[in-house]
């Protein structure tokens, strides 16, 4: 009979009690409504990818290889499990640990973005991916850390009003925009630019500087229009209309084909004409197979996530927490609504996925990790009363 070393059973018992205690604390401090909404979006995404997978599988099949109809669904479920693990792991971190993780991710991804033009893999005329056993898109994982990095820098103002935090953040944003346009990736540059703008607004920037930054943003868009052919074509198609076979036109017709209640799961027909039914235009697939009412429900869930995060920040007393959580939420919501507006022909095509719903490979893991960091940053003891945060406490920002 095997013998148990003295004290082993006691140590194991204490370890199990400590683990249960940590889980109980996590459950008390986590923002459970946001966690529930994120899980609902992931569930909707799994069903939507299953609906869009046959169209993409058929489109990408060749004479030599015929992809099974659920090819992308099976791949998506693997990435989804990995993403769930990343999200729950990140959500258990402390606020300080989440801040450090976000900053390290941002620094690492910026370095990889510098390397992309030299060692990156080219797909459809854009060099955005690095092969590291898997295809890694640095700009996707940068979304986990960029808002946290900017929030950390802007929060220095609370400790030392003399630090030119806005100038430092603007320099980082200019560098990032240059690296992204070298790929080129104008859509991500716009998304990060929007996140930057939201954060400096929340940080209390004077109105004069807001006008300056808006002018710089407008000038950048004009410069892109005359130097980036693909971006110019997309804007022209949006403003002046394109052919009946343009992606956004096909997406809109697919979206409306199901009416209010949809044609039923796997009953859609127009989705087979879409170029990226499982990624960029999955919202249209949802509309065709599950109806416009389902699309409205998806929009309401995204709005609920944003509203919940912002309401939770109303009585937050820490500047970094307010900025980081708001920046992550704004970036998440911005990407979602850009994708939705593209599908509705209300915004030029950007090649941007619908977060937590689209098939995205490693980008699914990146979005889940970002949401996990958001949950970690917004953790709080429910028994501690807080005073509302006020920007007046730190004065005007430089």
What is the average pLDDT value for the chain, to the nearest integer? 82
Top mean pLDDT of 159-163, 176-180, 300-304 is at: 300-304
Count other C-beta atoms under 10 Å from residue 339's C-beta: 25
For residues 279 and 262, give the distance between their C-alpha atoms in angstroms, rounded to a whole number: 19
Pull the structure tokens for residue 347. 């915004």
Of residues 370 and 25, more confidence is placed in 370
Mean pLDDT, residues 253-274 taken together: 86
Let me know if residue 188 belongs to a domain.
yes
CB contact set of 254 (below 8 Å; sequence gap of 6+): 268, 270, 271, 273, 274, 281, 284, 285, 287, 288
Let me know if residue 342 belongs to a domain.
yes
pLDDT at 47 > cutoff 50: yes
The lowest-confidence range among 73-82, 118-127, 131-140, 339-348 is 118-127
Complete edge-to-edge strand list for the sheet that includes strand 126-131: 121-123, 126-131, 135-136
- Tally of structural domains, the chain: 1
Of residues 202 and 131, more confidence is placed in 202
pTM equals 0.85
Of residues 205 and 280, more confidence is placed in 280
Pull the structure tokens for residue 76. 């998506």
Let me know if residue 153 belongs to a domain.
yes
CA 119 from chain centre, in angstroms, equals: 25
Let me know if residue 220 belongs to a domain.
yes
For residues 248 and 13, give the distance between their C-alpha atoms in angstroms, rounded to a whole number: 59
For residues 182 and 240, give the distance between their C-alpha atoms in angstroms, rounded to a whole number: 27
pLDDT tens string 173-183 = 989 988 888 87
Let me know if residue 122 belongs to a domain.
yes
Per-residue confidence (pLDDT) for residue 243, from 0 to 100? 47
**DSSP state at residue 155:** G
Let me know if residue 68 belongs to a domain.
no
Unique residue bearing structure tokens 């098939």: 359
Of residues 37 and 225, more confidence is placed in 37
For residues 127 and 138, give the distance between their C-alpha atoms in angstroms, rounded to a whole number: 11
Contact 177, 193 (CB under 8 A): yes
Percent of the chain's residues with pLDDT above 70: 79
Mean pLDDT, residues 328-343 taken together: 91
Range of the domain at 181: 104-357
Q: Residue 218: pLDDT band by 50, 70, 90 thresholds?
A: confident
Let me know if residue 225 belongs to a domain.
yes
pLDDT tens string 195-213 = 998 898 887 776 666 677 6
pLDDT at 57 > cutoff 70: yes
Let me know if residue 71 belongs to a domain.
no
Unique residue bearing structure tokens 């022209």: 236
């Amino acid at each position: 009979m095997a013998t148990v070393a003295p004290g082993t059973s006691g140590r194991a018992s204490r370890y199990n009690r400590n683990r249960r205690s940590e889980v109980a604390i996590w459950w008390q401090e986590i923002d459970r409504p946001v966690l529930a909404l994120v899980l609902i979006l992931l569930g909707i995404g799994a069903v939507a990818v299953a609906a869009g997978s046959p169209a993409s599988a058929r489109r990408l099949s060749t004479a030599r290889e015929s992809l099974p109809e659920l090819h992308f669904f099976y791949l998506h479920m693997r990435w989804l499990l990995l993403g769930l693990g990343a999200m729950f792991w990140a959500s258990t971190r402390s606020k300080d640990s989440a801040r450090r993780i976000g900053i390290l991710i941002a620094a690492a991804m910026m370095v990889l973005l510098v390397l992309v033009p030299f060692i990156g893999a080219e797909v459809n005329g854009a060099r955005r991916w690095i092969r590291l056993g898997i295809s890694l898109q640095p700009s996707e994982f940068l979304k986990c850390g960029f808002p946290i990095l900017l929030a950390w820098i802007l929060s220095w103002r609370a400790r030392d009003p003399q630090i030119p935090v806005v100038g430092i953040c603007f320099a980082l944003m200019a560098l990032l925009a240059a690296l992204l346009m070298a790929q080129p990736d104008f859509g991500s540059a716009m998304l990060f630019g929007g996140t930057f703008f939201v954060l400096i607004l929340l940080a209390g920037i004077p109105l004069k500087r807001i006008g300056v930054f808006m002018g710089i943003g407008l000038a950048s868009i004009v410069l892109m229009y005359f130097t980036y052919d693909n971006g110019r074509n997309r804007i022209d198609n949006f403003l002046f209309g394109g052919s009946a076979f343009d992606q956004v036109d096909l997406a809109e017709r697919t979206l409306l084909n199901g009416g209010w209640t949809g044609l039923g799961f796997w009953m859609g027909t127009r989705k087979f004409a879409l170029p990226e039914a499982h990624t960029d235009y999955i919202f249209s697939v949802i509309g065709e197979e599950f109806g416009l009412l389902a699309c409205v429900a998806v929009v309401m869930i995204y709005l609920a996530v944003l509203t919940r995060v912002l309401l939770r920040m109303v009585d937050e007393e820490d500047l970094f927490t307010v900025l980081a959580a708001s920046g992550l939420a704004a970036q998440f919501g911005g990407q979602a609504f850009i994708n939705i507006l593209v599908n509705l022909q209300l915004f030029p095509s950007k090649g941007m996925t619908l977060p937590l719903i689209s098939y995205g490979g490693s980008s699914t893991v990146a979005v889940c990790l970002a949401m996990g960091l958001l949950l970690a940053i917004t953790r709080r003891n429910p028994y501690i009363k807080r005073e509302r945060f006020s920007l007046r406490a730190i004065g005007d920002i430089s």
